[in-house]
Chain A
Amino acid sequence: MSTLMTGAQILLECLTREGVDCMFGYPGGVTLPFYDALYDHPIRHVLVRHEQNAAFAAEGYSRATGRVGVCCATSGPGATNLVTGLVDAMMDSIPIVAITGQVTSKLIGSDAFQEADTFGITRSCTKHNFLVKNISELSQIVHEAFYIASSGRPGPVLVDIPKDIFQGQAHYTPVSSIHLPGYKVYTEGHTGQIRRAAQMMWDARRPLVYAGGGIIASNCSEELQSLVEIIDAPAVCTLMGLGGLASSHPNFISMPGMHGSYAANMSLSNADLLIALGVRFDDRVTGRLAAFAPHAKVIHVDIDPAEIGKNRVADLPIVGDLKRVLSKLNAALVELQPDAAPINSTHRRAWWSQVREWKDEHPLTPAISTSEIKPQQVMVEIDRISGGQAIVASDVGQHQMWAAQFIKFDKPRLWINSGGLGSMGFGLPSAIGAQFACPSQLVFAIVGDGGFQMSIPELATIANQGLPVKIIVVNNGYLGMVRQWQELFYNNRLSSVELETFPNAEMLAGAYGFKGRTIQNPADLVPALREAVDEPGPYLLNIKVTPFENVYPMVPAGGAINEMVLGPPQPVAMPR
């Protein structure tokens, strides 16, 4: 018989058994018993400065490793502060488990101090959530939470635990099976459908692989690479799928969509077969849906049946885990390979030469200036230092798009960004999570001057923990992406987008006890980045860039993706 434990100890036992080594959180009244049990427990608890950032850090940890990230908050305001991070994880299918304290069971519903209906509030923000009502079900629920978060289409799961459950006593009983009668996970993929898909790929004249975040979630980069090589098709990776196929791979075309490359969008618009893998045909990729890939048949592989046919009808759907489906698909492709390899057919050669032509016609070209630092140039130099190997956690906005366009990733889980929800403030805390997950790896937090200030309190966490995160502020003095839209679609009426004030970076970092610097001369860019990377501790590099640079190519909202605006509107010459 096991010894009697408190609920808090049982929770820690569950976390330990789930392999949790580190969690991010902020204590409060009702979680006191839990934090007391944590006091002499080996699980590392990272004290953040705001609960939202605990959720973002847990996401960063998970995105960098594939493991379940864990965050913790107290009842009421603690729990409500987690909400943005939960929705963020939901949109990007990131497995995190959030533990929240709740007021004592008897007080629930009495408008007690720091009471909020966390279970109700987070219902739509999570893949699933639990309110623990009896200590006897605590361990079962926590293990189920980890199972739900990490299996199938991953996502956030919240466990709300009243204070008396933390304090109560029970035995920890190991959980031998998960009983979730309504939870369905489809992993294998239909064999007949897989063979039909292989045949379609061999029959296609202009196939294109359209790979998304599912590739990262399913850890199937190798299988994807094999697929691309067997059929020798060009491949585009979405914002969430960057690194799924190495950026240096000859078949990689780049990112498609609103700020995707000309070649990627033209390839999508002209392909006759879309091999859609772990994607959800998001509006930022497809533009006007009716005009998206109009000539293509669609093979859609996804683990979530609800994604099939949600936005685009799939001619051949396969529901399953990408890793398993792709390895079967690759085997079927080899088996069904026709004698006269279509790879060398005239059609295929014409397709490749067309794709290369698009690449050469309008490559992604960084703006260059000798008098000002161009933001794209910052990304090019970070890319040079990274060599496709550094972790880059990005915030949301123009800099995010430039980073996605110009920084290459040779492995999955290096590119960390808030894709679906687009949560400003994500960059800094997610970099913290990633650095904890990968202590010896070079981690950049690329942030704008807007998003950085949303998470600025986390500088304290970075300083406390001595995390060597390289914070690169791409500072244009504006909420750049909003301003870009005001310029282009609202007659240049710049409304509430000028940030005006930004703290002195050297003094700011200095106040926290680490190094910081501001540069605005292009000649300083490379040495300053070098200095930041060489610094053993954290570094805050504030780079003043051209204020009015905009992100191109751009597909205006609701436009077809082959109708890109390739550059800023040219000034019309006034008649003399």
Chain B
Amino acid sequence: MLQVISLLLENKPGALMRVTGLLSARGYNIESLTVARTLDPELSKMTIVVQVDSSLRKQVIKQMNKLVNVLQATDLTEGSVVCRDMVLLRVRAAQENRTAILKEAEIFAARVIDSSVEGFALEATGDPEKLDEFIAVMRSYGDIEVTRSGALAMSLEQKKLRLAPPILRGEDAMLSETKNGVLNA
């Protein structure tokens, strides 16, 4: 089934590769992946939608949490979650369809970002299934070109609203674990 994973990770070269490598090493196909900086420019937030055997969902999250660059990996497949996708869509419109297209766009709360003799460029956000419908509707009017962002997800559960990442800072981590004498040196 499709698993939605939210990751907080260091904004460092190679961090993305470690996450995707972990999935590809297990033969999982990534359906979508979005990543961008957080309020803290040293960190990134990533949402991955991936096809994972449901018995292995926990294991995937645990393996991601093991990655040194990953601060927290969370499974957002179930529970109270908001999931949004964005689509940029160009539709070639015949003169007699223009009004109808604009009406449809309004129903999906899509915005017109460009209008030309050829047709329209539209932008819409919403949950992924809703956008599938939007695309299907627009296709019925003529040729279309589509670019989607992939899913962005966020938990709405109270306990998961965390302003600061729940992490051991380096010093605390060291206090419990000084095996190699870095601090003693």
- Chain A positions near chain B (C-beta within 8 angstroms): 17-19, 68, 119-120, 123-124, 127-129, 131, 133, 143, 146-152, 174-185, 187-188, 304-306, 309-310
Contacts of B25 in A (CB 8 A): 124
Known: A18-B181, A178-B174, A185-B176. A120 touches B17 (CB 8 A): yes
Which size bracket describes the interface of B in this complex?
Answer: 35 or more
Q: Is A178 touching B62 in the complex (CB atoms < 8 A)?
A: no
Contacts of B170 in A (CB 8 A): 177-181
Residue of B13, B14, B71, B181 near A181 (CB, 8 A) is B71
Known: A123-B21, A181-B71. A306 touches B66 (CB 8 A): yes
Q: Is A183 touching B173 in the complex (CB atoms < 8 A)?
A: yes
Q: How far is the CB of B28 from chain A (nearest CB, A)?
A: 14
Q: Is A150 touching B62 in the complex (CB atoms < 8 A)?
A: no
Contacts of B176 in A (CB 8 A): 185, 187-188
Q: Does B183 contact A (CB under 8 A)?
A: yes
Q: Is B68 touching A183 in the complex (CB atoms < 8 A)?
A: yes
A-B contact list, 7 entries, CB within 8 Å: A124-B21, A128-B68, A178-B173, A179-B169, A182-B67, A182-B68, A183-B68
- Chain B positions near chain A (C-beta within 8 angstroms): 9-10, 13-14, 17-18, 21, 25, 58-59, 62-63, 65-72, 165, 167-171, 173-174, 176-177, 179-183, 185
Known: A181-B170, A306-B66. A152 touches B10 (CB 8 A): no
Residue of B10, B14, B167 near A123 (CB, 8 A) is B14
A149, A152, A306 interface centre (most CB from chain B within 10 Å) = A306
A148, A180, A187 interface centre (most CB from chain B within 10 Å) = A180
In the bound complex, CA of A133 to CA of B173 (Å): 25
Q: How far is the CB of B25 from chain A (nearest CB, A)?
A: 6
How would you classify the secondary structure of chain B's contact residues: helix, strand, loop or mixed?
A: mixed
Residue of B13, B168, B171, B180 near A150 (CB, 8 A) is B180
Q: Is B68 touching A148 in the complex (CB atoms < 8 A)?
A: yes
In the bound complex, CA of A181 to CA of B177 (Å): 14
**Given A149-B180, A185-B177, 7 further pairs, Cβ under 8 A:** A68-B180, A151-B177, A176-B183, A178-B174, A179-B169, A181-B169, A182-B67
Q: Is A146 touching B182 in the complex (CB atoms < 8 A)?
A: yes
Q: Is B59 touching A310 in the complex (CB atoms < 8 A)?
A: yes
Contacts of B71 in A (CB 8 A): 181-182
Q: How far is the CB of A123 from chain B (nearest CB, A)?
A: 6
Residue of B68, B179, B182 near A143 (CB, 8 A) is B182
Q: How far is the CB of A247 from chain B (nearest CB, A)?
A: 27
Closest residue on chain A to residue B58 by CB atoms: A309
Closest residue on chain B to residue A133 by CB atoms: B13
In the bound complex, CA of A178 to CA of B181 (Å): 12
Q: Is A182 touching B179 in the complex (CB atoms < 8 A)?
A: no
Q: Is B171 touching A177 in the complex (CB atoms < 8 A)?
A: yes
* Smallest CB-CB A-B distances: 6 pairs: A306-B62, A179-B170, A17-B185, A128-B68, A150-B180, A182-B71
Contacts of B66 in A (CB 8 A): 304-306
Q: Is B62 touching A180 in the complex (CB atoms < 8 A)?
A: no
Closest residue on chain B to residue A130 by CB atoms: B14
A68, A124, A176, A182 interface centre (most CB from chain B within 10 Å) = A182
Q: Is B65 touching A305 in the complex (CB atoms < 8 A)?
A: yes
Q: How far is the CB of B147 from chain A (nearest CB, A)?
A: 28
Q: Is B179 touching A150 in the complex (CB atoms < 8 A)?
A: yes
Contacts of B62 in A (CB 8 A): 305-306
